[in-house]
Structure 1
Amino acid sequence: MLDVLEVVTIVVVGLMVGVEFSVAFVINPILGALPEDSGQLGRSHGGRMLGAVMPVWYFGSLALVAVWAIVGWHDHGAGLVVIAGALLVLSVIMSLLLLVPINNQGKTWTPENRPDDWKEQNHRWDRFHYVRVAVIIAAFTLLVAALA
């Protein structure tokens, strides 16, 4: 049973890492290169769409890691799982304090109502997001290492 939990957890966290990596290094650069207001409209739509899905994914991943840490407490990789869980908690805290407030504003922007500093706010979100991606990659890496 623990083996199934480990695999499911790694797949769920790994997919989350892939999506967030893609947003940081593929989607947002593409949107930034689009002409006129297309990029800003795309980011607003992405903020609405992913803003609805990602909280479930983050908290679900955290729950899976917590269950793994509890069920596998006496296994050799338990310490790595606990550290990975702590990193996921950090990513949730970062999200709630730094990224969500910007996203909540940005997802309502249109070319007619966006603030004058909308590009700076997007760049700030991107910088925070790069750090969050590094944190969840580290958590994912520790989960994989816990199996070795």
Structure 2
Amino acid sequence: MLTALEVVTVVSVGLMVGVEFAVAFVINPILNALPDDSYQLGRAHGGRMLGAVMPFWYIGSVVLSAIWAATGWHHHGTGLVVTGAALLLVSVVMSVLLLVPINNRSKTWTPENRPADWREQSARWDRYHYARVAVLIAAFTLLVTALV
């Protein structure tokens, strides 16, 4: 049973890291190359779509990692799992404090109602997101390392 939990956790976190990496280094650069209206509308749509799914995925990853740490407490690699879970929790805190407030504003913007500093707010979100992706990659690396 522990092996199944380990695999489900690693796959779930790995997929989440892949999505967030793609947003940072594929999707947003593509959108950034579009004209302002298309760029902003694409980001708003992405913010609504991913903003609806990611909270469950982030919290679920923390919960799965915590269950893995608790059920495998006396197994090899538990310290790595605990540290990985802690980093996932850090990513949730980063999201709530730094990224979600910007996302909640930007997902409602249209070309007609966006603020004058919308590009700066998008760039700030991107910087925070790069840091969050680094934290997620570190967490994922620790969880994978705990398997071996």
> The TM-score by the shorter chain falls in which range?
over 0.9
How many residues are aligned here?
A: 148
Alpha-carbon separation, structure 2, partners of 1:3 and 1:70: 13
Structure 1 residue 35, shift from structure 2 partner: 2.0
Structure 1 residue 36, shift from structure 2 partner: 3.7
Structure 1 residue 13, shift from structure 2 partner: 0.2
Q: Does 1:127 align with 2:121?
A: no
Structure 1 residue 43, shift from structure 2 partner: 0.1
Q: Does 1:86 align with 2:86?
A: yes
1:46-61 to 2 correspondences below 5 Å? 46-61=46-61
Unaligned 5+ segments in structure 2 are none
Find the counterpart in structure 2 of residue 16 from structure 1. Answer: 16
List per-residue Cα deviations over 1:46-103 (Å, max 9, x = no partner): 0000000000000001110000000000011000000001100100000000000000
Alpha-carbon separation, structure 2, partners of 1:113 and 1:130: 27
1:17-56 to 2 correspondences below 5 Å? 17-56=17-56
Find the counterpart in structure 2 of residue 102 from structure 1. Answer: 102
Alpha-carbon separation, structure 1, partners of 2:53 and 2:143: 22
TM-score normalised by length of structure 2: 0.99
Code of the residue aligned with 2:84 in structure 1: it is A
1:85 is paired with a residue whose SS is helix
Alpha-carbon separation, structure 2, partners of 1:16 and 1:62: 12
Runs of 4+ in 1 over 2 A off after TM superposition: none
Structure 1 residue 42, shift from structure 2 partner: 0.2
TM-score normalised by length of structure 1: 0.99
Alpha-carbon separation, structure 2, partners of 1:61 and 1:71: 15
Find the counterpart in structure 2 of residue 68 from structure 1. Answer: 68
Question: Which stretch of structure 1 is more off in the superposition, 36-45 or 120-129?
Answer: 36-45
Alpha-carbon separation, structure 2, partners of 1:56 and 1:92: 11
Structure 1 residue 34, shift from structure 2 partner: 0.9
Alpha-carbon separation, structure 1, partners of 2:64 and 2:85: 9
Alpha-carbon separation, structure 2, partners of 1:36 and 1:63: 39
1:96 is paired with a residue whose SS is helix
